[in-house]
Chains A and B, each alone.
Chain A
Amino acid sequence: MDIFLERLFDGITNGTVYAIMALALVVVFRGTGTINFAQGEMALFTTYIAWWLTTQGVSIWIGALVAAIVGFLLGAVVERTLIRPVRKRNDMATLIVALGLFTGFNALAGLLWNSETKPMDGLFPGGQDDYVGVGGARLYFDALGVWLFVILMIGAVFLLFNRTRLGLNMRAVADNPESAALSGVPTGRILMLGWGLAGTIGSLAGVLVTPLSAQQLSLTTMFPILIYASAAALFGGLDSPIGAVVGGLTIGLLEAMITGYVDFIGGTLPQTAALVVIVAILLFRPTGLFGTRQMERL
């Protein structure tokens, strides 16, 4: 029972991080109609910035804040300067730019901070004794902190989408860009803000997950997370924020349970298992659980 609970906690912790990464992908997809494959590496880059600040004696909370701001600027600038000029031509061009950014940001992080693994401080106390016992299992404070943080973030994003004018404009641009422009919505600025928002969400996901990750901060930290987040976004429906959250938690729990209980998969094949989930979902329900839009753009 206690082992099951620990796997459950692990699954939820990873799942919440996949959920917000998936949320970042969904925010971009709704506005631009493309999956930003560079989202993970952009987050990796800003996570390095947060880590580097901690090595300069700055608190990780300030580091996370800086990462969030840089993530916003990075997303907005990338949309304005690289995505917008090619987007109107065709979707393959956007995809190629995203792949270029993927390798570019990874290489830049390697160039600036070398490829050695770096241990990173967490936002929450992560000592051996920082846990509460739940049914014989240990629920560590750092995991609990990640849960709370992610719940707050998801709440904030939902409020933004459903209770503010900016969110209404974002939904309008995602739904029908032409009518949005004809209503006076500055569509270009809205797309830029969408990419910025996704950059911020991704950056915070990076800062949250890296200290919990077995491999800490290295050049390959974010890649598996992006794969899981893509799976989560596809599972939930690429244009649905609720789908991203449900998808993220589902993938996180699947990963924890499959690696825990299916011997032959163990610790080495979880990514394959996630990819199998993607393929299965796309076969039987091309728009995902909560999705509405046909994904012909892919």
Chain B
Amino acid sequence: MSLLEVTGLTAGYGQARVLHGLDLTVEPGEVVVVLGANGAGKTTTMRALTALIPHGGTVTFDGAPLDGLNPAQIVGRGVSLVPQGRGTFSHLSVLDNLRVGAALRRDTAEIKADIDRWCEVFPILAARSGQEAGTLSGGEQQMLAVARALMSRPKLLLCDEPSLGLAPKIVSELFSTLGDINREQGTALLLVEQNAELALGLASRVYLLEVGRVVASGDAEGFRADESIRRAYLGL
């Protein structure tokens, strides 16, 4: 059984519908990437899955429906989102950001252990632990946002364009860390990206989105090899 099973997902803003019946699945421990141009509906998909906006269609996670839950309840079920751009609390210290990430947990000792773990994975967070998040650089904030999302110990981590606005060196570091997390923790990843080359290196499967629909899908290897897809959609 799939970890995440999305069938006929529709969503939009006010009268404007952005997603027109989207199907996708994520298996336990898998890395899946959703590619697509600006306006294809990538961010809308992420926001619909985490109940930041209402949706139609059905979303099943870990055998039970997510439809009708609020964002906090969805976190409780094991889905965590790193939103696009600023996913941090800019006036809270780095340490407090991580503590908020564990808002639903009651295992104080384990929370401390997790904070230590992510500070080891992202050493810059340890160095800046008392600083307000807003004073961090873009790359540091993105790492903090990822660590904050991981503090709820999700089974599925959603990342909305984690590479946006970051220097290439930082991006490749971040992606290799995401790969490590996937291997070591078994956390499934669903990434939305414009940086196709990098994302395809990390993912095992790909969905290609165009105006709110999946127009192609398959395994990442095949996508990289397919000349027509490369030229038409990926700009490689």
Contacts and interface: CB of A to CB of B under 8 A. Distances in A.
Nearest to B50: A182
Contacts of B44: none
B186 to A, nearest CB: 21
A14 to B, nearest CB: 30
A39 B67 CA distance: 38
A292 B104 CA distance: 28
Contacts of A175: 89-92
A169 B103 contact: yes
Interface residues of A, number: 18
B86 A182 contact: no
B81 interface: yes
B75 A182 contact: yes
Given A168-B96, A171-B96, A178-B52, A184 B91 contact: no
B87 A179 contact: yes
Contact of B87 (A169, A182, A184, A186): A182
B70 A182 contact: no
Contacts of A183: 75, 100-103, 148-149, 151-152
Given A181-B71, A182-B81, A182-B149, A176 B89 contact: yes
A292 B91 contact: yes
A180 interface: yes
B56 interface: no
Interface string B62-98: 0000000011100110001101001111111000100
A171 B91 contact: yes
A64 to B, nearest CB: 33
A171 B96 CA distance: 10
Contacts of A172: 89, 92, 96, 100, 103
A5 interface: no
Contacts of B224: none
Interface string A171-199: 11001101111111111000000000000
A186 B71 CA distance: 8
B92 A181 contact: no
B128 interface: no
A292 B135 CA distance: 13
Interface residues of B, number: 29
A184 B92 contact: no
Interface in B92-130: 92, 96, 99-104
A165 B111 CA distance: 13
B70 A181 contact: yes
B115 to A, nearest CB: 13
B83 A179 contact: yes
B47 to A, nearest CB: 9
A298 B83 CA distance: 27
Nearest to B52: A178
Contacts of B90: 175-176
A37 to B, nearest CB: 25
B149 A184 contact: no
Q: Looking at A169, A175, A179, which has the most chain B CB atoms within 10 Å of its CB?
A: A179
Given A178-B83, A179-B83, A186 B72 contact: yes
Contacts of B70: 181, 186
Contacts of B80: 182
A180 B104 CA distance: 11
A186 B103 CA distance: 9
Interface string B137-172: 000000001001101100000000000000000000
A168 B72 contact: no
B52 A179 contact: no
A233 B101 CA distance: 30
A292 B204 CA distance: 44
Nearest to A293: B91
Contact of B52 (A165, A168, A181): A181
A190 B81 CA distance: 21
Given A168-B99, A172-B100, A182 B83 contact: yes
Lowest 10 A-B CB distances belong to which pairs? A184-B75, A184-B104, A181-B71, A175-B89, A184-B103, A172-B100, A185-B103, A184-B72, A183-B100, A183-B103
Interface of B: 50, 52, 70-72, 75-76, 80-81, 83, 86-92, 96, 99-104, 145, 148-149, 151-152
11 contacts: A169-B103, A171-B89, A172-B92, A179-B145, A179-B148, A180-B103, A183-B75, A183-B103, A183-B151, A184-B72, A184-B104
Interface of A: 165, 168-169, 171-172, 175-176, 178-187, 292
Given A182-B52, A183-B100, A184-B152, 12 more contacts: A165-B103, A169-B100, A169-B103, A171-B92, A175-B90, A175-B91, A175-B92, A180-B100, A181-B52, A184-B103, A184-B104, A185-B103
